[in-house]
Amino acid sequence: MSTMEQMTEEQRAEHRRRLAMWDRLTVTPDSPPKAAPWREDEAAAVRTLALAVRDALGGSDWTAESRSPYWPCENETHGQTIIAVDRRWLVVATHTIPVRTVHDMFTIKINGRPIPYRSLRGDLPHQPGTIAANIWRHVNGVTVEPCDSLTCQHAPTVAIFGGSLCEKHARRYAETGQV
């Protein structure tokens, strides 16, 4: 018998309520700076990212939401931060870990379209400054170097630790771990 089957109906309802709290976090410019005690760090990180993205897009108003999975081991994991800036831009920064792997992959979409994603030496792909720089480059038409896989000339839309890949090579990296 599983743990859930041993719980009373009230305990199951409380468990589901707690799972829902872990899954979603909304942050706005006028929201209180503190979230629930166990989410303060995440709320601060979402606010920092939202402000960096707002500045990169030259906006003034923003709202952000973070979604993170509660059971990361069983399925492909998608942690997302969704930022709406001036009701004009919808930015989705996604951190994906394919099922049963440790291959972290990062993407950015603006208004539903993937953008080129290139981190400079020493930058981590999930840092607010790196995400904002890639958004700024895309909006201002700055071209980026092609995919890091040898002889590939496609634009990199997936960042990994230590490189950037096109969709085709990112799928191969997810399956085999090889660039």
Q: What confidence tens digit (pLDDT) does each residue in 71-86 have?
A: 555 566 778 999 999 9
The answer to whether residue 19 is domain-embedded is no
- What tokens were used for 171? 């799928």
The rounded radius of gyration (Å) of the Cα atoms in the chain is: 18
pTM: 0.81
The answer to whether residue 80 is domain-embedded is yes
d(CA 22, CA 68): 7
The answer to whether residue 124 is domain-embedded is yes
Q: How many domains does the chain have?
A: 1
The answer to whether residue 102 is domain-embedded is yes
Its domain, for residue 135, covers 24-176
Torsion angle of the four alpha carbons 11, 34, 135, 84, in this order, in degrees rounded to the nearest 10: 70
The answer to whether residue 6 is domain-embedded is no
Please tell me the total number of residues recorded for the chain in this structure: 179
Q: Are 149 and 169 in contact (CB under 8 A)?
A: yes
Q: What confidence tens digit (pLDDT) does each residue in 90-136 have?
A: 999 999 888 778 889 999 999 999 999 998 888 999 999 999 999 99
The answer to whether residue 111 is domain-embedded is yes
